[in-house]
Amino acid sequence: MKHLIIIISLSTFSLSLSAQQKSDKTEGTIKVQKSGHLVSVQFDAVNYRVICIDEYGNPLDTAVQEFRMGVTIKGIFYSENTKGSLCSPKMQHLLTSSDQSSNIIIDKIKAKDRNGTVVDMPKIIYSFGSRNDDGN
């Protein structure tokens, strides 16, 4: 009886080894990286930069190549162009000088897609604060 149990356990062990060897040959790992076309632009008011969002919702920090930012402060419109995704020191000064109800217009945005194609992105209008009809 003892020999029968040993024989059964050895045959089960050898069958499991051969099954593992066969499955290793046919299985593989497929890595899929979702990278889509750029669909929108957002302004990061904390870090003073413009970022792009692809069709899967992935933020792309380095996609923006250049943009123009404009803001009206006390009735005077200021505009500044920059290369890259970060706001220039002059832009940052304009943003800190604006009040909470000022609209910031970011346009002429050129971004590089993951495949290297430079695309023109639509302008965005950003407001630091919210305005209600009653003036608050």
Q: In the prediction, which pLDDT does 45 show?
A: 84
Instruction: With CA atoms as reference, report the closest residue to 50 among 104, 129, 116.
Output: 104
Residues in the chain with pLDDT values less than 70 = 1-4, 7, 9-36, 129-136
Handedness of CA 9, 10, 14, 17 (dihedral sign): positive
CB 38 within 8 A of CB 58: no
pTM higher than the cut 0.85? no
Q: Which tokens in the block code for residue 6?
A: 């040993």
Residue 37: helix, strand or coil by DSSP?
Answer: coil
Amino acid at 75: G
Report which DSSP code applies to 105: E
pLDDT in tens, 41-76: 998 888 889 999 888 888 888 889 999 999 888 888
Q: In the prediction, which pLDDT does 134 show?
A: 44
Q: How many helices (H) and strands (E) does the chain have?
A: 2, 8
Q: In the prediction, which pLDDT does 17 show?
A: 53
Q: In the prediction, which pLDDT does 62 show?
A: 83
DSSP string, 57-101: S-EETT-EEEEEEEEEETTEEEEEEEESSBPPHHHHHHHHHS-TT
Residue 115: helix, strand or coil by DSSP?
Answer: coil
Q: In the prediction, which pLDDT does 86 show?
A: 92
Q: In the prediction, which pLDDT does 135 show?
A: 44
Query: What's the mean pLDDT when you consider all of the chain?
Result: 77
